[in-house]
Structure 1
Amino acid sequence: MAAATLAEALELWRGDQLAEAVSEPLRAEATRLDQVRTAAIEARLEAGLACGGHRQGLPELQALCRAHPLRESLWAMQITALYRCARQADALAAYQDLRRTLAEELGIDPSSRLRQLEAAVLAQDPALAAPERPRSRAGPLSFPTPLAVTERAPLVGRADELRLARAAWASAAGGTSAVVLVGGEAGGGKSRLVRELARGVQGPDGIVLHGRCNEDLAIPYRPFVECLSSVVAQLPDEVLDDAGPQWPAELARLVPAVASRRPDLPAPPPAEPNVERYQLFQSVASLLSALARQSPVLILLEDVHWADRPTLLLLRHLSGLDLGRVLLVATFRSSGRLYGPLLEALGALPPEARVTRIAPHRLSGAETTALVRASAASFGECEDELAEALHRQTDGNPFYLVEMLAHLRETGALGAGQVSSVGDLDVSAAGLPDSIREVLRARLARLGPAAERVLPDAAVIGQEFDLAVLAGSTGLDDDTVLGVLDVAARAALVEEARDPPGRFRFTHALVQQTLYRDLGATRRTRAHARVALAMEAVGGRGPGELAFHFQAGITRETTGKAFCYARAAGLAALATSAPDEAVRWHTAALNALPPNRQDEEHVRALVELGTAQRHAGQPAYRETLLAAARRAQHIGADDLLIDAALACSRGGFSKLGEVDAEKVAILEAALGVAAPDSVERARLLAVLAGELIWHADHVRRIRLADEAVEVARRTGDVAALLYAILQPGPATSVPETAEQRVRLLREAAEIAQRTNDRVASCHVVLLLAPMLVEVVCPDGIAHALDEVAEVLAQVGEPWDRLMVPVVQGCDRAEAHAGGVLRIGTDGGQPDVQEMHAELIYMIRWQQGRLREILPRLREVAAGFEDLPAYTAGFACAEALSGDAERARRMLRAAADNGFDAFYGISWLSRTCQWAEVAVEVADLDAAAGLYTALAPWKHLFAMSGPLPLHAVSLALGRLAALRGDAETAAAHYADALRIHEVVRSPFGIAQTALHWGRLLRRTDPQRARVLLDTAADLAHRFGFRDIARRAADGR
Structure 2
Amino acid sequence: MTALHDRAHEPGTLTTATILFTDVVSSTALRIRLGEERANVVFRRLYELLRSVVTASGSSFTKSLGDGLMAVFDSATAGLDAIIAVQQAVADENERAQEKISIRAALAAGDVCWGHDDVSGLPTVEAARLVAVAEGGQVLCTDLVRRLAQGRSRHEFKDLGRLPGKGLREPMHTYELHWQSADHHLGAGLAPWLDERGLPFVGREEQLRTLDAELAAAEFGGNLVLLQGEPGVGKTRLASEVARRALKRQFTVLAGRCTDPARKAYEPIAGAVERLARTSPALLLRAGIDQQCGQLVRLAPSLAAPPLSLEVPPATEPVSERYHLLAAARTLIERLATVRPVLLIVDDLQWATLESLQMLNALMWDADALPLLVLAMSRPVPVESAMPELHKLTADARVVPVPAFGPDEVSHALTEARAAGDAAVLHRITGGNAFLISEVIRELTAGKDLDALAVPDSVTRMVLARLSQLHPDARDLVNLLAVGERMSSAELRQGLGLDEARFVAAVEEAMGAGLVTMLDNGSCHFSRPAGTARPGR
Structure number with higher helix proportion: 1
Q: Which has the larger radius of gyration?
A: 1
TM-score for the superposition, normalised by structure 1: 0.26
